[in-house]
Structure 1
Amino acid sequence: MSARDQLLVVIDPVARRTDGESVRIAKDVLSAGAAVRVCLPDGPEDFTKALARRGTRRLVVVGDDRALLRAVGSLHRDRELAGCALSVVPVGASQTLARGLGVPPGAVAAARAVLEGAERRLDLLVDDSDGVVLGDLRIPPVGAAEGGGGGAGVPAGGFGAEGSTGEGARISARAVSRVTAGGPAEGHPWLRTCQSFVRTLASRPSRPVPGAGRGPARLRIEADGVVLVDLDQPVESVRVTTVDGGLAQVEVRPASVGAEAAPVRVRAGTVTVSGPDFRYRADAVVAGPVRTRTWTVHPLAWGLTLPR
């Protein structure tokens, strides 16, 4: 039996919890066409160890976009990505990345592609901290609230926001006015206690609302050493997308002043973003804040099994 017919099927624990039926179908289809060894890791650490123990078997990941990213990132950090033809059966809520790469939807179709498909070499975007991007990179991180990237007191979807007195504090202030409008509080200890409590609420600033106060950022963006936008030009958004040919498509949308500013689009092998602290979304993962980050395209750095 050839190595192609021997599979190590690593099933992400999130996939097992969210859609056990699709996981079962994928295992049945794969087992009908190859010699399958199934691995059921309990968490990210076990997941990474399972990849290292694959031997000569072809690696198949059953899981969502995050499981795919975890597999590619782990293999890249171990410098084993170039020699590993990866296959994926998308199972879970997040499958946008896998489908965008050409993996067919549905457990049956994806499992058949693993058995009957062919390896396709793809470019990889790697940052200077060894993080990987398979699809696209966005600044600010679109959908950061869903990705869990927002920190305490930091708007998850924007560049930053100032803390301010919220609606609850304004209501409390009106309550103080109504209480004091009824006359002096002497002789009523309960009223003085109420007034003190309400004043405390009114003076306490509310927590910033995720996404509130989002506005243009001041960033310096360089593509292959050429400055596209500098700190004196506010930026609404930045998007970097991997494309064929060893280059990335870079799109910068400057903040409009009066007439709408035209986006700047170039292709480059390296992209550097620097400036005040910013967050970014790399595929399904929100990272940061950082002050500078450089992404470099690694041509044909990894292989994915896709339908012929």
Structure 2
Amino acid sequence: MAEVATSRTFPATSEQLLVVIDPVARRADGESVRIAKDVLSAGAAGTKVCLPDSPEEFARALARRGSRRPVVVGDDRALVRAVTLLHRQRELAGCALSLVPVGGALALSRSLGVPTGAVAAARAVLDGAVRRMDLLVDDSDGVVLGALRIPPVGGVAREPEADGGAGRPWLRTCRSLVRTLVPARPSGIVSAPETGPARLRVEVDGETLVDLGQPVEGVSVVPGVCGRARVEVRPVSVGAEASPLRAEARAVTVSGAHFRYRADAAVSGPVRTRTWVVREGAWGLTVPTG
């Protein structure tokens, strides 16, 4: 689990709360959502609850928060969405977020120090302190809160349908039709491997850490401390196990053949080059004190 850099903490000030409840959280665990809403409403001087049904409504609710302190009730994806929106609106520096984790994907929330129980998380919103943390920002204005990982070529597979098409006969019919129209692969032709080493150039603060001639199994970048990211490159081992290459940097550039990357819970790409820069103390999150 990635460590999270802390620059400083200070008390959360505004008692006027804007509670934005992600629709995924409402479907995943309505009871935890109800408990969190009750605790927050009872403990704050003024609480406004929003129930957006789409990413667009989520963005509008956050943009219209006024002086209210935003509280996101949702999973890791909802938190990343909120940070991304505030970053792109250039309002992240002056707006600390609070989170009540609800849903299935909560690994990032745990690593950031947020309690995963509804009551404990809601109490932390009311009584906790704001921790300022570093942020990775890429050249497409994307953000990374916890970890960036570049897997082997072909190592990122599309997630399958949760129900395999069950309950949607039209989907199964379309798939069957496609299979009948696409000719079978002639014998003797071998498909490309699903996974394999990547050939990437990784530069840290302008210096080459690994070049295209050295195949790598993976690259990881996480926010470190004092405005520097921790970079680890795992070369492909031949015979004896190859030692990871590690460095710290304010800027990391990865380039080479088209590659995909996982930033927190989302997969992006393919891209040929991408640069991530550390923004020191760029965002704030309310966490328990003590």
Same fold judged by TM-score > 0.5? yes
Which residue number in structure 1 is paired with residue 146 of structure 2?
135
Q: Distance in 2 between matches of 1:271 and 1:8?
A: 36
Counterpart Cα distance in 1 of 2:275 and 2:185: 45
Does residue 1:295 correspond to 2:271, yes or no? no
Shift of 1:36: 0.9
Aligned length: 255
| Paired AA for residue 247 in structure 1 | R
State the AA in 1 paired with 2:17: L
1:207–1:303 CA distance, 2 compared to 1 (3 A): farther
Do the aligned partners of residues 28 and 254 (structure 1) sit closer, same or farther apart at CA in structure 2, a change above 3 Å counting?
A: same
**How far did residue 145 of structure 1 move?**
3.9
Unaligned runs of 5+ in 1: 149-196
Aligned to 2:249: 268
Instruction: Please name the residue that 1:11 is paired with.
Output: 21
Contact 1:118 1:305 in 2 (8 A): yes
Output the TM-score relative to the length of structure 1: 0.78
Asked if the contact 1:66/1:284 (under 8 Å) is kept, the reply is yes
Match for residue 283 of structure 1 among 247, 264, 272: 264
Deviation string 1:280-305 (CA, Å, 9 cap, x unpaired) is 00000000000000000000001100
Whether the 8 Å CA contact 2:155–2:195 is kept in 1: the answer is: no
SS of equivalent to 1:29 = helix
Identify which of 68, 77, 94 aligns with 2:88.
Answer: 77
SS of the residue 1:124 aligns to = strand
What amino acid is aligned across from residue 45 of structure 1 in structure 2? Answer: E
How far residue 203 of structure 1 moved from its aligned partner, in angstroms, is 3.2
Q: Which amino acid aligns with 2:40?
A: L
Q: Using the TM superposition, give the Cα deviation of residue 233 of structure 1 relative to its aligned residue in structure 2, in angstroms.
A: 0.5
Q: 1:263 to 1:27 in 2, by over 3 A?
A: same
Q: Which residue of 1 aligns with 2:79?
A: 68
How many Å apart are 1:258 and its aligned residue? 2.0
Paired position in structure 1 for 2:217: 236
**What is the SS of the residue equivalent to 1:203?**
coil
Aligned residue in 1 for 2:132: 121
Change (3 A) 1:92 1:239: same
CA distance in 2, matches of 1:242, 1:81: 17
Tell me if structure 2 keeps the 8 A contact 1:11–1:41.
yes
* Deviation string, structure 1 residues 120-144 (Cα, Å, up to 9, x no partner): 1000000000000000000118984
RMSD after superposition: 2.3
Aligned 1:105-184 pairs, distance under 5 A: 105-140=116-151, 144-145=156-157
- Aligned to 1:4, what secondary structure does the other structure show? coil
Distance 1:3 1:121, change over 3 A: closer
Tell me how far apart the structure 2 counterparts of residues 13 and 123 of structure 1 sit (CA, whole Å): 28
Residue aligned with 1:42, SS? coil
Aligned twin of 1:258: 239
CA distances 1:1-60 after superposition (whole Å, capped 9, x unpaired):
x96211000000110111101000000110110121000111101101111000000000
Q: Is the 8 A contact 1:147 1:284 kept in 2?
A: no
Q: Distance in 2 between matches of 1:146 and 1:113?
A: 36
**Distance in 2 between residues matched to 1:241 and 1:231, nearest whole Å:** 22
- Kept in 2: contact 1:41–1:50 (CA 8 A): yes
* 1:203 is the counterpart of 2:214: no
Alpha-carbon contact 1:147-1:286 (below 8 Å) kept: no
Runs of 4+ in structure 1 deviating by more than 6 angstroms, as ranges, are 204-209
Q: Quick one: which of 24, 30, 39 aligns to 2:34? A: 24
**Is the Cα–Cα contact under 8 Å of residues 155 and 196 in structure 2 kept in the other structure?**
no
Larger CA Rg, structure 1 vs 2? 1
Aligned to 1:220: 201
Would you tell me which structure has more helix in proportion to its own residues?
1
Could you tell me the TM-score, scaled by structure 2's length? 0.83
Which moved further from structure 2: 287-296 or 134-143?
A: 134-143
CA distance in 2, matches of 1:205, 1:16: 51
* 3-state SS of paired residue (1:129): coil
Identity between Structure 1 and Structure 2 (%): 69
| Contact 1:147–1:285 (CA under 8 A) maintained in structure 2 | no
Q: What is the alpha-carbon distance in structure 2 between the residues aligned to residue 66 and residue 25 of structure 1? A: 21
